[in-house]
Structure 1
Amino acid sequence: MTRRRVFTGSPWEPVVGYCRAVRIGERIEVAGTTAMQHGEVVGEGDAYEQTRFILQTIEKALNELGASMSDVVRTRMFVTDISKWEEIGKAHGEFFRNIQPAATMVEVQALIDPRLMVEIEVEAIVEEE
């Protein structure tokens, strides 16, 4: 099967050796995605805005691989302050209210940049092209 990849220009992609998303057959895995754009944090101090930006980034990666948010079957949200769950959940719901993938939200001690509040990864399954 062909392996298709999406890169977003993250400064960590070449250093760590990963891509934003990879598709093999009908399966797409999207790497942990944060609110970074061109080395700057988007929505600093705002968990809702960070989550919206992250999900928009994920949506673009899925689209590049011939999928959409409706193909998502699982999300995993890593948050640095679980008390912000409602803000994060609100943004998640705006994208997934009618799709309702399996979802996990866990609090973590820290992300790669202390200004980041949320990191999300997703799994999607699409029909073969």
Structure 2
Amino acid sequence: MARKLISSGSSFEKEMGYSRAVVDGDWVFVSGTTGFNYDTMTIEEGVVAQTEQCFKNIKNILEEANSSLDKIVRVTYILPKTSDFELCWPVLKKYLGDVRPAATMFSAGLFDERMKIEIQVTALN
């Protein structure tokens, strides 16, 4: 299978030179995805709403790659405020509770201070 690059249409991808996702063989590598609504290029204020939007964005990209949320094998959560992570747990359980991928969370500054969470996944195709 040839390598396939997938874009969400975000201006960040073109400006920084990356793809929202790369399909390579049996794998789909989804870049760190934030809570921006790419249709409106807006972002909600709260971490819970942003987490929900992250998963909507990831779901759309995985479907474009002929994959799905239930094929996620690894997830990385990045939050500027560690204390916000527990607030996200109900959303994480909603989307990945039955999938239970290997997971890592760490705290780091994000590109835009409005961003409260970034989620990166690897899935099978």
CA distance in 2, matches of 1:100, 1:80: 23
Matched, 1:2 2:15: no
Alignment root-mean-square deviation, CA: 1.3
1:25-67 Cα offsets, whole Å, 9 max, x none, are 11000000111235744221x1111001001100100000100
CA distance in 2, matches of 1:118, 1:125: 23
Taking structure 1 as the reference length, the TM-score comes to 0.90
Gaps of 5+ in 1: none
Shift of 1:105: 1.0
Please tell me whether the aligned partners of residues 71 and 124 of structure 1 are also in contact (alpha carbons under 8 angstroms).
yes
SS of the residue corresponding to residue 113 of structure 2 reads coil
Shift of 1:87: 1.6
Matched, 1:43 2:40: no
Which residue does the alignment assign to 1:111? 110
Please tell me whether the aligned partners of residues 41 and 115 of structure 1 are also in contact (alpha carbons under 8 angstroms).
no
1:74-109 Cα offsets, whole Å, 9 max, x none, are 00000011111112222111100000001111111x
Gaps of 5+ in 2: none
Please tell me whether the aligned partners of residues 41 and 116 of structure 1 are also in contact (alpha carbons under 8 angstroms).
no
